[in-house]
Amino acid sequence: MKQLFTSAFTMVAAAISLQAAPVNIKITNVHMCCPSCVKGAEKAAAGVPGVSAMADQQTGYVNLAGPDFPTVQKAADALMAAGYFGNSNELTDINGKPLIKMTDQSGATGTKVKSLKVQGVHLCCAKCVKAVTAALATVPGVTTNTAAKGATSFEISGDFNDKAVFAALQKAGLTGKIGK
């Protein structure tokens, strides 16, 4: 019994120390085509108190550093809210699941649609628009889109799966949400 109590106490102490330890994680494969993308990503993530963010245009990563996992997760969420997406597989739990999660928050349900309004995708320049257009070209059934530099939303037309749209955008290092 004493050994069981000691083991349980050790696991709880380890979990608490993991939560309280400083965290430094790299989000990879983020869309970074220009200095404005870099500045936008850094600004979004660093808007979380206690977090510093550094993005690298050449390698397409965003490094997030903060006091603990919950705070750094908030910075990753802020990055996604600003229209960026990436992989966070650098630090994992004992089951191999990322400790910082970049998850689809698009609202897509896997429904076949003929048109879709998308909002919140990072579109600071013509290269961002080109990346969105190239990503959407990989989605079966998409025929047109109205993405434009500086737009906060755009329309997609065709006959396609809404979830496939966001999967393609996320593969390109961008994300957004279904608009109203």
Q: Residue 75 belongs to a domain with what CATH number?
A: 3.30.70.100
User: Cβ(23)–Cβ(65) under 8 Å?
Assistant: yes
Supply the pLDDT for residue 20: 62
In angstroms, what is the C-alpha Rg of the chain?
Answer: 19
pLDDT tens digits for 121-175? 999 999 999 999 999 999 999 999 999 999 999 999 999 999 999 999 999 999 9
In a domain, 7, yes or no: no
Supply the pLDDT for residue 51: 97
In a domain, 12, yes or no: no
Residue 151 is encoded by which pair of tokens? 């737009």
User: 2 versus 104: which is more confidently predicted?
Assistant: 104
Supply the pLDDT for residue 147: 98
Domain C-terminal end among 52, 75, 103? 103
Q: pTM score, two decimals?
A: 0.86
Same domain, 120 and 167: yes
Please count the structural domains in the chain. 2
Query: 138-145 long-range contacts, Cβ below 8 Å, gap at least 24?
Result: 138/168, 139/164, 139/165, 139/168, 140/164
- Average pLDDT in the 69-94 region? 92
DSSP 77: H
Helix (H/G/I), strand (E/B), else coil: 145: strand
What do you get for the CA distance between the two ends of the chain, in Å? Answer: 58
Q: What is the dihedral of CA 57, 61, 66, 71, to 10 degrees?
A: 120
In a domain, 13, yes or no: no
Residue 67 is encoded by which pair of tokens? 């006091």
What beta strand segments (E) does the chain contain?
A: 23-27, 52-56, 61-66, 112-119, 142-145, 153-161, 177-178
Same domain, 76 and 59: yes
Domain span at residue 140? 112-178
User: Cβ(64)–Cβ(73) under 8 Å?
Assistant: no
